Structures are given as C-alpha cells and as structure tokens.
Structure 1
Amino acid sequence: MIKTPHMSSPIFSHFRRRDRLIYQVLTAMDDFNPLAPTHPPEEYFSELSSSIVGQQLSTTAAHTIYTRLVKLLAGDVTAARLLAADDQAMRDCGLSWAKVRSVKDLAAKVANHQLKLNRLTTMSDAQVIAELTKVKGIGQWTAEMFLIFALGREDIFSHGDLGLRRAMEGLYGLGQLPSPAQADQISTKWRPYRSYGCLALWHTLDNAPI
C-alpha cells in the first residue's frame, strides 16, 4: 500500500482502531481529502439554491436545470434576483412548482434577514440544522449535506440517507437494510469523525450525494 500524507492523520488512526472496514475503504480512496469549508459565506445562498434544485434528481438533471436557472438570473444567483424572477420562467427552467416556492422562500428569508447565512460558520451543527430547516423545502438531509460539503463539519451522520444504510448492508454483510437503531449503533463508534464514515460508505456505492 502506498502511504499518502493524509494516512498519518488522526482520522485514519481513529478508524484503524474503531472500524477496520471503514478504514480499509478510506485508505483505498484515491480522492480522499480531509473535510474543510469549501465555500465562503457569500456563496452559501447559491449553494443552498443548488441543493434545493437538485433534490431527488440525478446529478446530470440537476446540473442542467440549475445551469438554466443561472442563465435566467444573468449568471448571478442572489436573493434579490431570485425574488424578482418570474415564477413561470423559473418553472420553464425545469424546476417543479414546489422547488420554485422553496427557492423563493429561501430568498425571502435571506432578504429580510430571518436567515443570516454569514453566521452559520459560528453555529453548532444542531443550530445550523435548525436555521436551515426554517426554509420551505430544506429538510434534515439537505441541511446535513450542507454541513458536510459546504461547512466541512466532520461529525455528521445522516440517518435519513437510504444510500448509507444500503452501503452498510453491503459492507458489513448484514443481509438486510439495518434499522435506524442499528445504523446508529454502527456509526456511533466513528465519533468524532462520522462524516468520514459517510464518505467511505458513499464511496462503496460510487454514489456521493448531490
């Protein structure tokens, strides 16, 4: 095995002790990188808008629809431009009516300062989830994905992600989908690095979330 610089980090040491199966997956990942905030706060609005647009869609479909929306907004996805955009024009981009309402609600809450995105970096995981789920169309799963992939939080496990449970079934040879309680029992031993356990499980499916 070729040892990469990351393999000497506490993350790998932790999984080597606590879960050898996850450790083996992580060490086999060519694209492994420690989690870190990937977007500055001024990009959180467009990131969340993209997440809403992409819910329950393939990566390709989500990209196509969001690209059309960006073009409609003249290349700049901001709360002001979304609020000013015509609903039917947004629908014509491929958004469902429910998603049109959701991104408009996000825009309204940002515009009237009910949701202050620049404060998310200073909040706990639970506080971020509570803030984001005030928006219509942003549920627990979307908030958890934002925590992992935008804020770089390292100790998130998404209990509502069916892909994670399917990956657990395969990796641990369970013979059936684990119950939420079983999934929690497995993931608890990953603390404080549960997000990396999720990355490893998604890797086994080759199915990282949108």
Structure 2
Amino acid sequence: MVAAPVAPQTKTAAATQSKAQAIAKKPAVVKAAVVSKAKPSPVTAPQVAAAKPSASKLRVATPAAVKKAPAKSVAKAPVAKPAPVKVAPAQTAASPVAQPVAVKKAAAKTPAGAKNAVKKTPLAKQVAAEVAALPDAIRPDYWDEACRYLIKKDRILRKIIPKYTGMGLQSQGDAFSTLARSIVSQQISTSAAAAVWTRFEHSVQGQLTAAKVLALESAQLRACGLSARKAEYLHDLALHVHEGRLDVTAWQQAEDEEIIAALTAVRGIGRWTAEMFLMFHLMRPNVLPLDDLGLIQGISRNYFSGEPVSRSDAREVAEAWKPWRSVATWYMWRSLSEPQSY
C-alpha cells in the first residue's frame, strides 16, 4: 500500500534532476566561452568550435572580419583596375596623332637626296636672289669695315644696314658699259631705265662695245627708247673710247676730281654720271652724288620725315658718313620703296 505512491515522486525527482543538470551544463559552456575569450591560449579546438555559434561577442567579431576583408579587396581592386583602363584609352587616342608624325619622318628620311635638297634650297634661293639683284659684281673689300663704322656713327643707318646683310655696292662691268648705263639712266625712273637698257643690249646682240654702238644708226638707238640727245651722247662716248681719248687704266691712281674733269669733257657726261663711274667702276668709297634724286629722297625720308631737302641739308647729314659716303649713299637708295638699280 505504501509503495504505490513512491513511484510518481521518483519520476518527478528524476525530471527535476535532469533539468538541473541541463541548467548546470549551460553555464559551464558560457563560462568556457568567456574563459576562452579571456584566455585564448589554453582553449582547445573543440571548445572554439563550440563557442562560435553561442558567443555573441564572437558573432560581432566575425562580421567585422568579413567587412575588413571586402574593404581591402575593394580598395585595391578599383585602384589597380581603372589605372590600366585609363592608360589604354590615352595611348589609343594618341596613336593616330603619333602615326602620321612617324610616317612623315620616315618619308623625309627615306630619300637621302631629298633631305639634302630641302636644306640647300633656301640657301640656293638666297644666293640666286642676290646674284639676280646685283649681277656681275664683287663687293669692295672695305664694305664691312664701312658698315661697322656707319652703324656706330649714324642712328638711321644703324637700323637700315642690317636689313641688307650680304648685299653691297657692285661693279656693273667694264668702263664703257658703266658709262653707257649711266647715260641711259639719266633723269628716268629705275624701272624705265632697266627696260631701255635691256632693249639697248639686245640691239648689240649682248656684246656692248664701242665699235658695236658706233655701228648703230641714231634711229636704231631711239627705237630702244632712248631720246635723240641720249643717242648722241652714246655715240660720242663710243667715239672717245674707240679713239683712246679716255685712258681708264691711268685713273686707278688719280684723284676723284681729276677723273670727273676728264669724264665731263665727253658730251652727255655730267658730274652725276662721272660720280656714278667713280662708285661703280672704280669703287671709290667716299663719293657723295648730291645731284642724285634717289639720295636726296632717301635723306628726306629717313632724316627729315619726308620734308623737302636742299643740297646743303644733304651735305650736312653726309658729314657724319665720311670717309664712307659711297656706302651710306647706297643704303639710302636701298631704303626707298623703289630702290635704285645701281
């Protein structure tokens, strides 16, 4: 009778005991987890594996580790990948520009003769232009020295002379040709004188000698564009030279005024023509042709702002040019809008 009710009590106690054991086991796991957190060295691999699902602190640490890993990978990836992408388009865009340059260089280097021709062409043109402008000429030995002197002494010539580097006063041939050209050029423009002179040379088949001119009739000379007076002058000059009355070889050591006196004895040769002969044939360095219209115009334009200039004004300006007045005169001619042909 007494043994019957004991059985339920035993079951209840057994259930209570099992719950207590379960509760007792749970704190032990938590303590182990906490201990494992505080003291990581003695914890074994099974304990760590068991602690991962249950410990809240470890759950927080795990995402942090996950976040750091992507952050590092993302930070590196964009920096590394866009760099090559940007460089590649830049090179691609530059390549069309670079290719034509390479092609041009190759084309320039391929023909060896063409390269030399390109370099020589400007020099050849410059030489040809100077020769065409001033033919049959040798510049006087004193020219460079005179230019240096005038640049120091005259502020106007200091600006004009550098514009005509490599050029200078030039001989126009033998004595007879020089005197004949001076007669043709009297009192006419440069362009008109050049046209008449070309026709005159053609009339003697390019061989301008005293004998050839004497063989021409006055009408033939006038057909070249010469006036009747100039045709007479040319005949008289040719006669003086042909008969030997003008001894040019003796003039090399003579004074300027002595030569002028001998030349003005010929019809049609005045002081201006004699001075042109001194400058262009005998290359005298200190001639001042005050009767020359181009010289007066040059002085007026460069020194007097275009105002009229008298002979005394021109002479005063030219005082600073001594002993190189021929050189300064030549540069006055060059400064005109229509430079003199001599």
Measured against the shorter chain, the TM-score band is 0.7 to 0.9
* Residue type at the aligned position of 1:59: T
Asked whether the equivalents of residues 45 and 117 of structure 1 are also in contact (C-alpha less than 8 Å), the reply is no
Check if 1:26 corresponds to 2:161.
Answer: yes
Say which structure, 1 or 2, has more relative contact order (CA 8 Å, 6+ apart). Answer: 1
Pairing 1:12-161 to 2, within 5 Å after superposition: 12-33=147-168, 35=169, 38=171, 43-161=174-292
* Residue type at the aligned position of 2:340: A
Deviations 1:75-113 (A, max 9, x none): 322212222222222222222110110001101111222
**How far is 1:190 from its partner?**
1.0
Consecutive unaligned residues of structure 1, counting only runs of 5 or more, are: 1-5
State the partner residue of 2:297.
Answer: 166
Consecutive unaligned residues of structure 2, counting only runs of 5 or more, are: 1-140
State the partner residue of 1:3.
Answer: none
- More displaced stretch, 68-77 vs 124-133: 68-77
Larger radius of gyration: 2
Q: How far, CA to CA, are the matches of 1:173 and 1:46 in structure 2? A: 35
Asked whether the equivalents of residues 65 and 95 of structure 1 are also in contact (C-alpha less than 8 Å), the reply is yes
Paired positions, count? 200
Q: How far, CA to CA, are the matches of 2:269 and 2:324 in structure 1? A: 24
- State the secondary structure of the residue aligned to 2:244: coil
- More displaced stretch, 10-19 vs 149-158: 10-19
Asked whether the equivalents of residues 178 and 280 of structure 2 are also in contact (C-alpha less than 8 Å), the reply is no
* Residue type at the aligned position of 1:74: Q
Q: How far, CA to CA, are the matches of 1:167 and 1:62 in structure 2? A: 19
- Structure 1 pair 10/53, CA: closer, same or farther in 2 (3 Å)? closer
- More displaced stretch, 103-112 vs 82-91: 82-91
* Residue type at the aligned position of 2:330: L
- What CA RMSD, in Å, does the superposition of the two structures yield over aligned residues? 2.5
**How far is 1:173 from its partner?**
3.5
Asked whether the equivalents of residues 211 and 242 of structure 2 are also in contact (C-alpha less than 8 Å), the reply is yes
Asked whether the equivalents of residues 26 and 32 of structure 1 are also in contact (C-alpha less than 8 Å), the reply is no
State the partner residue of 2:334.
Answer: 203
* Residue type at the aligned position of 2:269: I
**How far is 1:135 from its partner?**
1.5
- Structure 1 pair 191/86, CA: closer, same or farther in 2 (3 Å)? same
**TM-score under structure 1 normalisation?**
0.82
- Structure 1 pair 50/200, CA: closer, same or farther in 2 (3 Å)? closer
Tell me the percent identity.
34
**TM-score under structure 2 normalisation?**
0.53
* Residue type at the aligned position of 2:233: S
